[in-house]
Amino acid sequence: QVAYPEFILDEEKLDQYYDGLDVNDTDSYSEMLEKVERQKIEFWFKMLTKPASHFDLESSSATVAPIYIPTTNSLRLPAAILQAPLFHHTFPRALNYGGLGALIGHEITHAFDDVGRQFDANGNVREWWDPNTKKQFEDRAQCVINQYEEIEIPGTAFKINGKLSQGEIIADNGGVKQAYKAYKAYLQKLGREEERIKCVEQFSNEQMFFLGYAMVRCEHFTRDAMFFRLVQDPHPPERYEVNQVLANQPEFAAAFKCKVGSAMNPAKRCVVW
């Protein structure tokens, strides 16, 4: 699903969703909000009595994040995410593939992480991997779990919970790898290198891809927010969504000519997908 859910163009479904909602210009903001929330709850209670379907009214075009839904085996790409710095039609393809492309790859990889792998193509919970595939996945997943649990957050005694974060770690590493492959396939089809950006001509197309990947992950956290993130959020801090992920990519080391054995070109890497 790209940009917006199909239901917003279906008047019958819109009428069905908003049936029973009665607001007027004399209502206060809080009264309107209460009515909208009550109507939404009543709608979903009605849906509980009907057969399950892929008719979804939870999608929002204003959400700035793609999402993979294992129960429907679908990927949603809201309209709000189709803008800078993640994507822009004037950007070099290297930045678009490194930004939005890696996020799309991330969500696709969720279909094959520790949770997504438990759902089949129809969104049913089912063990569809053979024992050998499952064993190889678990061994590779354990590699990234151990790798991230060795990371100590500077200035704190905190470490990343690799078990909690394994789904996001697997998706981060797999997503950028697949996006890079897609970008290289684009260049091969193009038959030449992209024209370099003025003022940053010193960076190659490959380097710009990885800079695009890092650029959209710039964040700053307070100590308290970092603690909350490490304890409850499966997403690792952005610093490690960039540095540790790219250290696992030999293509990054090749693009920036990192010295063998350095932090960004380690002797041992973890690869799941």
**Does 245 have pLDDT greater than 70?**
yes
* pLDDT tens, residue by residue, 204-230: 999 999 999 999 998 888 888 888 888
Give the start-to-end residue ranges of the domains of the chain: 2-47, 67-256
> Is domain 67-256 in CATH 3.40.390.10, yes or no?
yes
* Residue 64 binned pLDDT confidence (cut-offs 50, 70, 90): confident
pLDDT at 4: 80
**Does 45 have pLDDT greater than 90?**
no
Q: Give Cα separations from 21 to 7, 33, 87, 272 (angstroms).
A: 18, 11, 37, 48
Q: Give the least confident one: 57-61, 136-140, 158-162.
A: 57-61
* pLDDT tens, residue by residue, 118-152: 999 988 999 999 999 999 999 999 999 999 999 98
pLDDT at 154: 83
Q: Which residues are catalytic?
A: 107, 172
Extract the tokens encoding 217: 């992950």
Classify strands 74-78 and 2-3 as parallel, antiparallel or unpaired.
Answer: parallel
pTM here is 0.84
* pLDDT tens, residue by residue, 18-29: 888 999 999 999
**Does 182 have pLDDT greater than 90?**
yes
Burial of 161 (0-12, 13-18, 19+ CB in 10 A): middle
**Does 71 have pLDDT greater than 90?**
no
* Residue 199 binned pLDDT confidence (cut-offs 50, 70, 90): confident
Task: Determine what percent of the chain is predicted with pLDDT higher than 70.
Answer: 97
pLDDT mean over 245-254? 97
- Per the model's pLDDT, the better-predicted residue between 241 and 65 turns out to be 241
pLDDT mean over 31-43? 91
